[in-house]
Structure 1
């Protein structure tokens, strides 16, 4: 079918979301407020879940299935998924997986919807069939358009907004690890693949410079190999291994409760925290982050900007270490930033999904308007539905 001649719906705008994240998953928490709050009189939302595995015990999965106007579970048939999207006459298809799912990649290649955009995800996918990458003023620097085949669509504040997180009672990690109440606890909570040697050296320098401090590395999956590598790397860099602790995964609500007993979170680089940083900010814990140029290196930066906190934003290795030492040695600074984070929950863009939803709806409506008026020219492509 030649989508350059496709006439979009003149009634509700049909928006499809495709991804493997409609269950307990970091992206699910990042999009659920918008899915809950969208204007149902003007929009109709469709969920397309490739590789779907129904988990009756997964409440978030059940919630998504009940909240979307239409929800589909598929196997690995990319053509079949694209055919359903085409048959549903979707106006805008939102990619939530970006370059992390082969099946989603194949579906996007088939151009089943007139307009396709990437949102949240790992980064833009780089396909000529994807028209937009939804970002904000901070998560990509000015001039970044030259790096992308997609048109960057910048929302006015943050590229996402949350309605908070569920949190268990205190997890008791100090008692679990044998740490006293006056120990200064730095935590790096990320996937092991994000914990690169260069950033680990900076974290070691911070902890060594702060009296009675420790570094807890909480990573995605239990791995003795990874822990042994960290210890060997610490020894090779003359870091006191007795100051190094490890935590392995907990259920999400218990994981977030760990932050009750953490003083400072140390972000990773060049792959910055996404869900982990959001959880720490919700728990009102100061973060030190080094800002890079790429999308993956600027998540925590935009989150901090969108809660009104400048403290902890570093542009160089030296600034990263200095902020870490200051947070570790200045309890008053930690308290001031925690207070700012608490106040931010009242109306800051990061925690104001009502405001975000209206801005996102404006963006989706404008994309459709550009298509209808011919401002967005979609080249003829032959794909499903011929």
Structure 2
């Protein structure tokens, strides 16, 4: 059946759908209902499922259907098909698709649709990354930027003035790039550098976003600018250096750099691979991650090699004590291996090695990021094929960053993936004092964690073969004394290593900026730059330990020389307070929010947090005071206003309204197995309505589930109040089994 929509119109519709245009989606669905077997429409739906719905399994099914139904250009969605296969752990299909993809790109038949997915493709050589990047950018068109006038990049001599550096990113929000970068920016020498943020992020307010934007001398909101408007704005600011923090990741505008927006252009942090010829002048790396011998093979850019490591970290993160293993679904008496990489990084070779490790270390489990339910089930099936009990794979969901760092401390050993190894995940793992075993192959994409471990002088955890990787993981799993020794060395290294000295990192980064701009203003072409080690002459006496640092951020007053560098940001305190609040540690949450107000007496987030603490304590009058202060501090904050109005209404309305609200809240806690909080909620209901059968019943059930047999009496009383309630009867039978189990134990 002929489709009454041209290919060009369909492509336009697809792009609008990807940007979240609801009208475009409605229009597409009408066409799709009329032509459900049209391969062009099926391919568009596949891409929508992959990008917008984050459903790689559904996307792969539709890509395969489009190919089988005779799509006229199946190669056009080969990149998307590979992306779906990687994200859905379809390893057998990847074995067929990746060689075909590489051949077609090399032969000039196909142009890549992006670069990021190449890092996860098995079997690529260093030279392949550069070949693919150049093939990708060869298909660029000028688009609406073709009318951009030539730029004037003459600048005053750098001597005697501040260098003007712009940072462009869509990740100034709760994102790994911000979490890694923020403390380096806080240490920028403002007497020598002026910094401007080109903010492409579409994100709600958060402590992370507030903290990173506060580091800049100026912030330019760019989300709604067209490409030509953004290019013209950056040029008009007369930067000396533009640093892109995205590379080929979501929301990037790095490709505008091919039109030259600043005299010196760099990319860093967001994407570790080359962008191809003619995009930027430099990439910031280190010599372990990108050795000299592969620099020209894998990168079109010249490299600025930092002396220690190319990736910074935020050392202000004081990790809360870990929850007990039982609350995490982990066994108390087994060795816990872990990997919290995104599941798209799990290759068949990595998984095979993990199963060999579990087979050798029988009293062990593997703790993974449960990113996708279908992937979890697939990994359990793959484990069973390798004669490993699927129950030994334990999956946990994503949670806020500080909570994740807290739980991560309960792992014994972290296992890396390859060919695409850990990035930010490695920094988190080491910061949580968990030893990490990595396999460093020749491809640079597998060398990141090795660079970190090398700087921490834990080179025995860097393995050059799969067999050695397995052997090291097995030794660590079986030998608790050796594992303790490695942990102790890791702890000591964290206290002393320049890897975690962000003031020193900033000095090295700034030296790279100065040397790159020096080449420009002296008429020299970009070239590789090695930054000398600017470490303090006596590192041991000049650099405080992490324990001293963590103590100092609580005790050293702001405004006292060295203390200014150690004063903990209010945003860090707020993040920690929010973590305490999420985990129902109300006393600690109240203390942290109060500390924020001592440092910033008009901080709306702190007032709001104290209001939420008061709500959880059922002190609505006090909550209203705090929330009113929050709305006065930030009158335009809709979140604060909505919460204030909600509590105001609850305080003014009758008992039935409160009972409904409190009952819903208590049952939510119950469903999430937070029995103490659920019980408190049911008690609050019974204080207002003593004969509330449901509150009485579920309070008894919560008590029984917590091991208190007195709950059975409450359940019986609730059944007297509602003798025909079938749910009560079902729960009563369940409570009887709990009681029987307790009797059997006794």
**Secondary structure at the counterpart of residue 495 of structure 2:** coil
Bigger shift: 137-146 or 28-37?
137-146
Q: Which residue is 1:381 aligned to?
A: none
User: What is the aligned counterpart of 1:244 among 393, 404, 410?
Assistant: 393
Q: Which runs of 5 or more residues in structure 1 are unaligned?
A: 379-386
Q: Which residue is 1:75 aligned to?
A: 223
- 1:187 Cα offset (Å): 0.4
Q: Which residue is 2:176 aligned to?
A: 26
Q: Which residue is 2:523 aligned to?
A: 374
Q: Give the Cα separation in 1 of the matches to 2:177 and 2:227.
A: 22
Q: Which has the larger radius of gyration?
A: 2
Relative contact order: is structure 1 or structure 2 higher (C-alpha 8 Å, sep ≥ 6)? 1
Q: Deviations over 1:101-130 (max 9, x none)?
A: 464133322321111111112223224130
- 1:162 Cα offset (Å): 2.3
- 1:12 Cα offset (Å): 0.8
Residues 333 and 78 from structure 1, CA distance in 2 versus in 1: closer, same or farther, beyond 3 angstroms? farther
Aligned residues of 1:256 and 1:283 also touching (Cα < 8 A): yes
Q: Which residue is 1:189 aligned to?
A: 340
Q: Give the Cα separation in 2 of the matches to 1:22 and 1:344.
A: 30
Residues 319 and 83 from structure 1, CA distance in 2 versus in 1: closer, same or farther, beyond 3 angstroms? same
Q: Which residue is 1:210 aligned to?
A: 361
Q: TM-score, normalised by structure 1?
A: 0.92
Aligned residues: 373
Q: Which residue is 2:420 aligned to?
A: 271
User: What is the aligned counterpart of 2:233 among 79, 84, 102?
Assistant: 84
**Secondary structure at the counterpart of residue 459 of structure 2:** coil
Superposed structure 1 runs of 4+ greater than 4 Å apart:
1-5
Aligned residues of 2:167 and 2:245 also touching (Cα < 8 A): yes
**Secondary structure at the counterpart of residue 149 of structure 1:** coil
Q: Which residue is 1:145 aligned to?
A: 295
Report whether the alignment pairs 1:293 with 2:438.
no
Report whether the alignment pairs 1:15 with 2:165.
yes
Residues 328 and 178 from structure 1, CA distance in 2 versus in 1: closer, same or farther, beyond 3 angstroms? closer
Structure with a larger share of its residues in helix = 2
Q: Give the Cα separation in 1 of the matches to 2:151 and 2:522.
A: 14
Report whether the alignment pairs 1:283 with 2:432.
yes
Q: Which residue is 1:383 aligned to?
A: none
Q: Which residues in structure 2 correspond to 1:300-319 (within 5 Å)?
A: 300-319=449-468
Report whether the alignment pairs 1:59 with 2:210.
no
Q: Give the Cα separation in 1 of the matches to 2:464 and 2:398.
A: 30
Q: Which residue is 2:626 aligned to?
A: none
Q: Which residues in structure 2 correspond to 1:115-194 (within 5 Å)?
A: 115-123=264-272, 124-146=274-296, 147-164=298-315, 165-180=317-332, 182-194=333-345
User: What is the aligned counterpart of 1:233 among 371, 378, 382?
Assistant: 382
**Secondary structure at the counterpart of residue 253 of structure 2:** helix
Q: Deviations over 1:141-187 (max 9, x none)?
A: 3311222110011111111332423423313344431512x210000
Q: Give the Cα separation in 1 of the matches to 2:258 and 2:211.
A: 29
Q: Give the Cα separation in 1 of the matches to 2:460 and 2:407.
A: 22
Structure with a larger share of its residues in strand = 1
In angstroms, what is the RMSD of aligned CA positions? 1.9
Q: TM-score, normalised by structure 2?
A: 0.48
Q: Give the Cα separation in 2 of the matches to 1:101 and 1:169.
A: 34
Q: Give the Cα separation in 1 of the matches to 2:330 and 2:192.
A: 55
Q: Give the Cα separation in 1 of the matches to 2:326 and 2:421.
A: 26
Bigger shift: 238-247 or 129-138?
238-247
